[in-house]
Structures are given as C-alpha cells and as structure tokens.
Amino acid sequence: MTGITKHKWPAKIRAAIFMLASAAILMPGLPAHALDPGDKKEVEEIIRTYLLQNPELMLEVQQALELKQQIEAKTKAKEALEKNAKTVFESPNQANIGNLDGDVTVVEFFDYNCGFCQRAMDDMNTLLKTDNNLKFVLKELPILSAGSVEASRISTAVYRLYPEKYADFHNALMSTAGQKDGKRALQIAANMSLDLDKLNAEGQKDDVVEAFREVNDLANSLGINGTPSYVIGDEVIFGALGEDILRQKIENVRKCGSTICS
C-alpha cells in the first residue's frame, strides 16, 4: 500500500494475534469473554503495552483504513456512474455550456453559495475559452442554505426559458459577493432585461423541486456530498482540483477514453 510501511510485529504480538485469530477461525461463534481469562488478560496487556510504546502504529492503521475507504468509494462511484450514465450526461434537468457537440463532457455539481465553486467557475471559463471542443454540464445541487434553493430556482428558470442567456447569468450570479438567494438572482436577471414574472412563475413549478431531487439522488449514488464535484469520462472527482488537473483529465479521455491512461 502506498504510503504505508509494513510493520514487523515482535514475536509476543504475533503470538497474541495468532491466539485471537485461531479462536475466531476455529470457533467463530465464540464470544471474546469465552477465552481463558488468564490468556485473554495477558493478550490484552501485551497488545496494550506494545501500542503505547509504538503509537505510530495507530497512524499506520488510520492510513490503511483511509486508503481502503477511498478505494471502496471510487469503486462504488464507478459502478453508480455506469448505472446512471444517461442521467449524468443527458438529463433535461441540467444546463449545458460550451460546444454542445463536444467530444468530451465535464459534469459539475455546484451550489451558488459554495466559495470553492467560484474558483471552479473560473476554471470552467478558462477551459472553455481555450478548448472549442469541450462541453460543460452544470447540475444545480443547492445544499448549503435556503438561499441556495431560492437562487437555484431562478437559475433553473433561466436555463429553461433563456438557455442562450444562462452562461452569462450563471457567471454573474456566481461572481456576486455575499449570500446568494432568490432576490440576488432576480437582480441579476433584471440587469439582463429578462422577464422577472416569467422567471418567478417557472421557478416555483413543482417539477423544479423534482429536478433538484434528481440531482440530489444522483449525487448520493455517486458518493458526492459536497460541491464542487465533477464527472469526467469514467471518474467521479471530488473538490475544486484546479484548471491544470481538469485539463489533463480531459486530454486523457481524448487520448485513451479514461481520465487515467496507463
């Protein structure tokens, strides 16, 4: 395992672990208290003393656990991505920016009140300006506040009613300082001369909430619990990784069909 040193256990510890393991294998239904009290106490004392004298072992255990969890999360996310690919890349409940016929699609889950999503917006814009064959899919995941939900209602209405205006609206709202909510979103729309009555009516429709629910369910299945998060090719990516890493993954998808080329 990368970053984890294989520890050479002393003879007493190996014997203690072997004793416990043997009991578990030969008598799997045997409760711990069924071991000989003397043996049990001795084993516990040996392990306790050794761990106190070598506390770095706990760090090794923690690292191994974290690595195992990361691998399991990536495996689960990949399986969920294969199962839900159509919803991830082609759902009508999402905004599309860039070349709609691009050869690579980047899917971003975002919240307007996510500070890191502002950085992610800059990364997206730079990539789109320098890559004419790239498509971005933006999925509204308003999880940070009630204001986020209000802002996303208006944002959803904008891409439904004025899809050609959505990119400018998104950039303007995301760039606005302070808390984003329905009022801020409508101010941006007013500055763009959009029909506020139509936007309000569209944003309050029941199917807008259904759209949010679809994205939320999708995020849960992919193991996404924060924004921004991405899907590129066959990989689910968590966090704002920056333009350079995103660009490399995009190029790898073009080169070998995966974000990681062997």
What are 141's two structure tokens? 């995941």
pLDDT of residue 79: 80
The full DSSP string for 91-140 is -SSSEEEE-TT-SEEEEEEE-TT-HHHHHHHHHHHHHHHH-TTEEEEEEE
Cα separation, 159 vs 136, in Å, equals 14
pLDDT per residue as tens digits for the range 196-214: 999 999 999 999 999 999 9
Q: Can you list the domains of the chain with their CATH numbers?
A: 11-83 (no CATH), 85-256 (3.40.30.10)
In the block, residue with structure tokens 């689960």: 76
What's the whole-model pTM score?
0.74
**Residue in 253, 242, 255, 238 with CA at minimum distance from that of residue 73:** 238
pLDDT of residue 262: 81
pLDDT of residue 2: 39
pLDDT of residue 134: 97
What are 99's two structure tokens? 């070349």
SS3 230: strand
Cα separation, 116 vs 155, in Å, equals 19
pLDDT per residue as tens digits for the range 138-184: 999 999 999 999 999 999 999 999 999 999 999 999 999 999 999 99
What are 107's two structure tokens? 């899917």
pLDDT of residue 33: 52
pLDDT per residue as tens digits for the range 69-83: 667 667 776 787 889
Task: Give 242's pLDDT tier (boundaries 50, 70, 90).
Answer: very high
**Residue in 153, 137, 159 with CA at minimum distance from that of residue 85:** 137
For 115, other C-beta atoms within 10 Å of its C-beta total: 11
Cα separation, 243 vs 128, in Å, equals 11
The mean pLDDT value for 189-196 works out to 98
Whether residue 243 is predicted with pLDDT greater than 60 in this model: the reply is: yes
Query: Higher confidence at residue 50 or residue 119?
Result: 119
pLDDT per residue as tens digits for the range 43-58: 777 777 877 887 787 7
pLDDT per residue as tens digits for the range 12-39: 566 666 555 555 544 455 455 555 666 6
The mean pLDDT value for 94-114 works out to 96
pLDDT of residue 80: 73
